[in-house]
Chain A
Amino acid sequence: MAAPMVKVSRGWSGLALGVRIAVLRLPGLTQVRWSRYGPEYQDPQIDKEYYRKPLAQLTEEETYERELRKTQVIKAAPATKTSSVFEDPVISKFTNMMMKGGNKILARSLMTQTLEAVKRKQFEKYHAASAEEQATIERNPYTIFHQALKNCEPVIGLVPILKGGHFYQVPVPLAERRRRFLAMKWMITECREKKPRRMLMPEKLSQELLEAFCNRGPVIKRKHDMHKMAEANRALAHYRWW
């Protein structure tokens, strides 16, 4: 995190919501969410390969960097970031978003059960298919997960901009992380709200992921709706000033 996040505690009219400004201490503004670490703290290096490289093979810049790190203060690594080979930042982010009330154990078990369910469904399809189709069926739950979320990411988004006393929905290009966030948020909301009463989350999530992987299903539909709305409000595009 290069710039600390500033969420304005007092309402500030004249500025659009959802736009983050890299503003440090200004009079009249108090930071609501902050990090306890000052700007001099460096991020920890989790990668095992970095430390396994023998000292003889390092280039000059790398030796310089290592010497420099010896003098710097480093933040503590969060408990969720491991040096495991199986770790995936997208899966971790998704698990955190699914978590309710800090119950990470439950969220993680739901995630693993979902991946297992996706795998078993694909294996069933594989065994039932003919030889030519077997080559096209993807059985890796991680590729399916990544591809499904990529398919759900919207390209363009709408932002309410205040002009002349009215809020207009203006089409705006979205940042990479905003797109990833929206894809995950839509997926989770869809699975929580639109599922039958006795169906469990892993089953519903696996269903939705497989449908999104094939570019169909309600989350893809929501993405297309967002695109259509942006297309319809095309005329308001000049309200954007950035």
Chain B
Amino acid sequence: MSTGIMLKGMTRLVSRVHKLDPGRFSHLGTQAPQCPVAHLDNQVPTERTRAISRTLENDPAKHGEQHVGQHYNISIQELKTVFPHGLPPRFVMQVKTFNEACLMVRKPALELLHYLKNTNFAHPAVRYVLYGEKGTGKTLSLCHIIHFCAKQDWLILHIPDAHLWVKNCRDLLQSTYNKQRFDQPLEASIWLKNFKTANERFLSQIKVQDKYVWNKRESTEKGSPLAEVVEQGIMRVRNATDAVGIVLKELKRQSSLGVFRLLVAVDGVNALWGRTTLKREDKSPITPEELALIYNLRKMVKNDWQGGAIVLTVSQTGSLFKPRKAYLPQELLGKEGFDTLDPFIPILVSNYNPKEFEGCIQYYLENNWLQHEKAHTEEGKKELLFLSNRNPGLLERLCAYL
């Protein structure tokens, strides 16, 4: 306990030294640490300059206030298992270029982590909605939460982008289960493959509690593992949507029993209650309820089950028929969506604060990403601050070509 207090005292000392001379560290480069008090973590003492942008604490469970603005590393193996889908495309490009995946620790994610650590699994699942303007880091905050839950051995139900399910669907089949609804075989099978990669170890443990008949020759018996249902969906693409529906139903039923903890993470949840751009053969528009995937997903985000949490993101990028400047949950979800999701805990994700901005620039400088000579100077930093307004997405795009 005393070492913890000592550490906290040391970090306060170090951060006070940072506040004294904020400009100093940009010139220090990779010089040796100048004072012996640099033990931010329990491991090998880090160099003082690296402490601003990176932290050695790679376990999201141990992230705290002192890590805000610092990047932590996720190994490539973990990335492949935890995030087969769901990372923003520009982040994937960055991971490929730098050969490492580093995520910044930020306040909204820390707040959510605190809530998740103190959840009462006997109560119904709480809904958290991350909202914010474009490019502020909602998706990456969601990925931070998912990494935390994966480390804590939760079952992750991650829908990377719900907007992809309501637009640009080439093959829309009439659902075999319910004539009024539509199937999306391609999207469902891709999602099932990624779900399988992320949650391999759970699929053999969870047993189905009903018999499901696929067609005249194939059926899944009661008590067989969930992996069989997922296999069936991947093999027979026509039944993929129904397989997804079954997976969702079973997980919802069984998470209340307490065998595993379920995290439902949906990015762009406002797609579930908006409009679609899909049309029937007679050119009449399809509402989201008529898509089987959306219908089943709506049941998942209702808080009538226990033993987990629901973390959602509302985003305007990729949304249909919503104005560009809209970012509040009320505007994006619409009346129907807001009433269904009510009550939820809204968490605002905003632009970087000055410390996080410095940390981001330092991270890029360490990876030699900012190649322009003027980008290393104070003038260049001031200009980047002005041009990006500390918006993470814009800053990333600016630094990409500098």
**106-151 of chain A: CB within 8 A of chain B:** 112-113, 115-116, 119-120, 123-124, 127, 139-142
Main secondary structure of the interface of A (DSSP, over half): helix
Evaluate contact between A141 and B368: CB separation under 8 angstroms: no
* A86: contacting residue among B97, B368, B374, CB under 8 A: B374
A85-B379, A85-B383, A86-B383 in contact; A119/B401 too (CB < 8 A)? Answer: yes
Is A84's CB within 8 Å of the partner chain B?
yes
Main secondary structure of the interface of B (DSSP, over half): helix
Evaluate contact between A140 and B372: CB separation under 8 angstroms: yes
Evaluate contact between B368 and A139: CB separation under 8 angstroms: yes
Evaluate contact between A120 and B97: CB separation under 8 angstroms: yes
* B401: contacting residue among A85, A112, A123, CB under 8 A: A112
Evaluate contact between A86 and B371: CB separation under 8 angstroms: no
A residues lining the B interface (CB < 8 Å): 84-86, 112-113, 115-116, 119-120, 123-124, 127, 139-142
A86-B375, A142-B371 in contact; A124/B383 too (CB < 8 A)? Answer: no
Residue of B nearest to A141 (CB): B371
Evaluate contact between B99 and A119: CB separation under 8 angstroms: no
Evaluate contact between B380 and A119: CB separation under 8 angstroms: no
Evaluate contact between B371 and A85: CB separation under 8 angstroms: no
**359-375 of chain B: CB within 8 A of chain A:** 368, 371-375
CB distance from B99 to the nearest CB of A (A): 5
Known A86-B372, A86-B383, A120-B97; 16 more pairs at CB < 8 Å: A85-B374, A85-B377, A85-B380, A85-B383, A86-B374, A86-B375, A86-B380, A86-B402, A112-B401, A115-B401, A119-B371, A119-B401, A120-B93, A123-B97, A139-B368, A142-B372
Residue of B nearest to A128 (CB): B99
Which 5 A/B pairs are nearest by Cβ-Cβ distance?
Answer: A140-B371, A85-B374, A115-B401, A112-B401, A116-B400
Evaluate contact between A127 and B402: CB separation under 8 angstroms: no
Residue of B nearest to A83 (CB): B383
Q: Which residues of A contact B371 (CB under 8 A)?
A: 119, 139-142
Residue of B nearest to A120 (CB): B97
CA distance A139 to B373 in the complex (A): 12
CA distance A14 to B118 in the complex (A): 91
CB distance from B395 to the nearest CB of A (A): 14
Most chain B beta-carbon contacts within 10 A, residue among A85, A124, A127, A141: A85
CB distance from A37 to the nearest CB of B (A): 30
Residue pairs across A and B with Cβ atoms less than 8 A apart, 18 shown, are A85-B374, A85-B377, A85-B379, A85-B380, A86-B383, A113-B401, A115-B401, A116-B400, A119-B371, A119-B401, A123-B98, A127-B99, A139-B368, A139-B371, A140-B371, A140-B373, A141-B371, A141-B401
CB distance from B215 to the nearest CB of A (A): 40
